[in-house]
Copies of this chain bind each other. A is one copy, B any other.
Amino acid sequence: MYVTETQIRIHYALTDQMGVVYHGHYAEFYEIGRAEAMRHLGFTYKDIEAMGIIMPVVDIHSRFLRPAKYDDLITVKTTLSELPAHHKVVFHSEIFNEQGALLNTGDVTLYLMEAKNMKRCEMPAVLKEKLKKYFTSSI
């Protein structure tokens, strides 16, 4: 299991007239969480695109428990529960406010695809290698 955390400060543009963060912005928070999870491995999503691979989102499921508000410093906890075997990668995100209350959860499924022909592909070996150590079972 690979787990990382990153923080985001809520700016005014993200709020709506209910006085809370507009629900459509959570997909961006998950995206930021995934990008920082990769960077933490010493690898960026930008590097992946430079290798000719893109990772389009194919499925998102979000649950909204409590609203995030203006100026909140939220924490996005991003979990990769399984080492991707094929073209499919699933991230689980949990978003907390500064008081530690769980605001939102998101399950995001992405596909690994070759940009040149839009064919599904496997994770680049260099990235898989970096991830492996987080998924070695102890028994």
Name A residues whose Cβ lies closer than 8 Å to a Cβ of B: 9, 11-13, 15-20, 22-25, 27-28, 31-32, 35, 44-46, 54, 56-64, 67, 70-71
Contact = CB atoms under 8 A, between A and B. Distances in A.
A11 B23 CA distance: 13
Copies in the complex: 4
A31 B44 CA distance: 27
Contact of A57 (B11, B19, B58, B64): B64
User: Most chain-B Cβ atoms within 10 A of its Cβ — which of A24, A27, A35, A45?
Assistant: A24
Nearest to A13: B28
A16 B12 contact: yes
A22 B18 contact: no
Contact of A44 (B19, B54, B71): B71
A92 to B, nearest CB: 15
Given A16-B12, A17-B16, A31-B24, A71 B59 contact: no
